[in-house]
Amino acid sequence: MKGTTIQGAIATIAVLLALTVIIAGCASTEIRSQTSPDYRGQPYEKILVWIDVDDALTAHGAEDYLVEELVDRGVDAVPQYLIFFAGKDYTYGQRQRELDKNGIDAVLTVEMTDSGATRHRSPDRLHRVRRVNPYTGRVHTYSEWTPGYVDVDVWADFSAELIDRASGEVVWLAVARTAGDPSIGRAGFAQSVSREVAAQLVRDGMVATN
C-alpha cells in the first residue's frame, strides 16, 4: 500500500482549492467485484473489518462506517480495534486465537491504493446582449464576456478482500474508485466506499444476512 491518506490527497490540491467556484458536497463510488472460482462455501456468518491506513484514528472511523453499513444490511460484523489492541504486537497464532474466541470466520480488509485530484475548467463565453433604452427606445447591442470557472475533484482508489479464516485464501475481491469535490473530506470518502463495499458483499452472496 502506498503511504498516503485521503487527507494527504486533499492537502496536495490546496492551491487549486482557491480557484474552486462550485462546491457540491457529495461523493460517488464505482465498484467492481469478483468471487474466487474455488469458493464453494456458505455465506460467512461473522466477519472482522480491517481498514489498512497509516492513521489509526482514520482507520477506526472508517471501520465504524463499514461495520454500520454491514449491520444495517443484517450482517454480523465487528471492527478489528475492538479485538486487537493497537499497542500490542500479535503473533500469527495469537491473532488466530483472538479471532477464534470471537467467532470470526472471515476477515474483510480494505486499503486505499492511490489518490489524486482532477482539475476541470469550463470555457470562457462571449455573447451578444441586446438592450432597449426605456426613455429613448433606442436599441443598444454590445458584447458581454463571461469567464469560465475551475472545478476540482479529488479521488481515491480502494481495494477490498474477503479472506476465509479456515483456508487463509482470498475468496472475494473488489476494486473501487470514490470521487467528489474536496469539501467532502475523509468522512465523505469513507461513507461512500463503505456503503458500496457492504452492498456489493451482500449482492454477491458472500455474507449471511439476518
pLDDT per residue as tens digits for the range 108-117: 999 988 888 8
Residue 126 maps to a domain: no
Strands (E), 36-134: 46-52, 76-79, 106-121, 125-132
Residue 143 maps to a domain: no
Which CATH number fits the domain that encloses residue 95? 3.40.50.10610
Cβ-based neighbours of 95, under 8 Å, separated by 6 or more: 84
Residue 131 maps to a domain: no
Residue 135 maps to a domain: no
Residue 182: exposed, middle, or buried by beta-carbon count in 10 A (0-12, 13-18, 19+)?
Answer: buried
What confidence score (pLDDT) does residue 142 get?
Answer: 67
What confidence score (pLDDT) does residue 13 get?
Answer: 30
Residue 128 maps to a domain: no
What total of structural domains would you count in the chain?
1
Residue 49 maps to a domain: yes
Cα–Cα distance measured from residue 82 to residue 71, given in angstroms and rounded to the nearest whole number: 16
Residue 87 maps to a domain: yes
Phi, psi of 107 (to 5 degrees): -120, 125
Mean pLDDT of all residues belonging to the chain: 81
Residue 112 maps to a domain: yes
3-class SS of residue 4: coil
pLDDT tens digits for range 67-115: 999 999 999 999 999 999 988 999 999 999 999 999 999 999 999 888 8
Cα–Cα distance measured from residue 65 to residue 166, given in angstroms and rounded to the nearest whole number: 26
What confidence score (pLDDT) does residue 47 get?
Answer: 97
Parent domain of 46: 6-121+149-203
